[in-house]
Amino acid sequence: MIEENIESSIQNLWQEVRDLNLGTPPHIDHLPTPPTPLQFLRHYINPNKPCLISAAVPHWPALSLWPSLAYLRTTLATTAVSLHLTPTGKADSIAPHPTSPSSLCFASAHVEKLPFPEALDSVMASEEKNKVAYLQQQNDCFRSEYGALAADCEGHIPWATEALGCSPEAVNLWVGNHLSETSFHKDHYENLYVVITGEKRFLLLPPTDVHRMYIRKYPAAHYLYHQDSGEFSLEIDDPITYVPWCSVDPYPSPNEKQREIEKFPLYFNGPKPFEVTVKAGEILYLPSMWFHHVRQSPDDTGLTIAINYWYDMQFDIKYAYFNFLQSIPHSLSNDRALFETRNVESNLDGSSFDSGDESDTAVTRDVRDVSDNEND
């Protein structure tokens, strides 16, 4: 009886968070212009609440320069950059175990350093179920590898920097096509995500939905790309390590959908995810600990380009609350070992959600009033 009451309270929490923090009906605020630092702090950072911001960076030269492949090739002609290769476009995701196909592992991409023009050619030539290339490296790659582009955008987001009281810990560049996909996960950062060209499509779930995430510990593996054969192999890391990661594919194939629903009922039968499309010149504020999955649509050149700014999160009482919530087992999660991972300090925690149906919590185009008296 006690367990049933706890599980009922957890499931009530999912809806209460949406009702109290995300409006009625629940939605993601869409602002026509950037907020002031005080507005951003009060209405979004403190309540851990996403927002989409239009006309966010109209003064950036990148918006007009980066859609030109000739400009990028010339500016980065002699620059070596990190290229991630996978057979499907899904890196840092769950894949069949290489020696036990009935089991699963956490697969990371094959990474190599190439001159930018050659790496860009690989991205443009990506083919589904063959080789998909993605220009990205999450360890501050914009400042470490793409410094030649620094004059085309700002080194930080001024109103966010003032509100957060610090400069970005890392700035990352992402260049890919429609085949690149990021599986559900969460980050211990406040994320300001700017699309330069093309579109990014996010699915978002708040941290309180962690029990729906079916996070499991999987053996870590990595792809190896063999130039001579043009094929990939997948190898388990040695020594063996384990990564907590989401077990659910947010877009199961039609013939797998019912099986996925039966395996992950909390995921599929709970509140629907928030769907947000970020267009060129827009910023998505993605609060720390929010679960997110990303797909993308390219521009006329076949590319999607984005840059994001990671600011350190505050490890405060909200973080303690999240860890406590995650420590509470739920019978329908069907794997209590999941909760033993709560103290593993890793940015690789994650999960996913989507029923495949149209979301009833898509981003709103109605602008809510977030005005403040700056002198309060």
Answer for the pair 128, 181: CB distance below 8 angstroms, yes or no: no
Looking up tokens 């507005």 gives: 39
According to DSSP, the residues that pair with 235 across neighbouring strands are 222
Distance CA 365, CA 159 (A): 22
Predicted pLDDT of residue 91 = 84
> Does residue 272 fall inside a structural domain?
yes
Q: What is the pLDDT of residues 128-149, one digit of tens each?
A: 778 999 999 988 999 999 999 9
Q: Is residue 346 part of a domain?
A: no
Residue 336 has pLDDT above 80, yes or no: no
State how beta strands 51-53 and 283-286 pair: antiparallel
Chain centroid to Cα 366, Å, comes to 24
Token pair for residue 265? 């009922």
Let me know if residue 363 belongs to a domain: no
Structure token digits, residue 297: 């649509």
| Domain CATH code at residue 82 | 2.60.120.10
Cα separation, 89 vs 290, in Å, equals: 23
Q: Single out the residue of 47, 130, 132, 49 nearest to residue 89, CA to CA.
A: 132
Residue 211 belongs to some domain of the structure: yes
Tell me the two tokens of residue 134. 């993605």
Residue 190 lies in a domain: yes
Percent of the chain with pLDDT over 90: 78
In terms of Cα–Cα distance, which of 348, 352, 353, 323 is closest to 217? Answer: 348
Q: By residue range, what is the domain housing residue 299? A: 2-341
pLDDT at position 376 is 56
Q: Is residue 88 part of a domain?
A: yes
Is residue 13 within 8 Å of 210, Cβ to Cβ?
no
| Contacts (Cβ under 8 Å, ≥6 apart) of 369 | none
pLDDT digits (tens, 9 = 90+) for 89-124: 998 999 999 999 899 999 999 999 999 999 999 999
Confidence class for position 342, pLDDT limits 50, 70, 90: very low
Cα–Cα distance between 31 and 321 in angstroms, integer? 29
Task: Compute the radius of gyration of the chain from its Cα atoms.
Answer: 21
Residue 359 domain-assigned (yes or no)? no
> Does the pLDDT at position 354 exceed 50?
no
- Segment 216-224 mean pLDDT: 96
**How many domains does one find in the chain?**
1
From residue 275, give the alpha-carbon distance in Å to each of 204, 217, 358.
6, 27, 9
321, 184, 267, 29 alpha-carbon torsion, rounded to 10°: 70
Residue 312 is assigned to a structural domain of this protein: yes
pLDDT attached to residue 292: 96
Quick one: three-class SS letters along the chain? CHHHHHHHHHHHHHHHHHHHHCCCCCCCEEECCCCCHHHHHHHHHCCCCCEEECCCCCCCCHHHHCCCHHHHHHHCCCCEEEEEEECCCEECEEEECCCCCCCEEEEECEEEEEEHHHHHHHHHCCECCCEEEEECCCCCHHHHHCHHHHHHCCCCCHHHHHHHCCCCCEEEEEEECCCCEEEEECCCEEEEEEEEECEEEEEEECHHHHHHCCEEEEEEEEEEEECCCCEEEEEECCCCCEEEEECCCCCCCCCCHHHHHHHCHHHHHCCCCEEEEEECCCEEEECCCCEEEEEEECCCCCCEEEEEEEEECCCCHHHHHHHHHHCCCCHHHCCHHHHHHCCCCCCCCCCCCCCCCCCCCCCCCCCCCCCCCCCC
Q: Is the pTM of this model over 0.75?
A: yes
Q: What digits encode the pLDDT tens for the residues 188-201?
A: 999 999 999 999 99
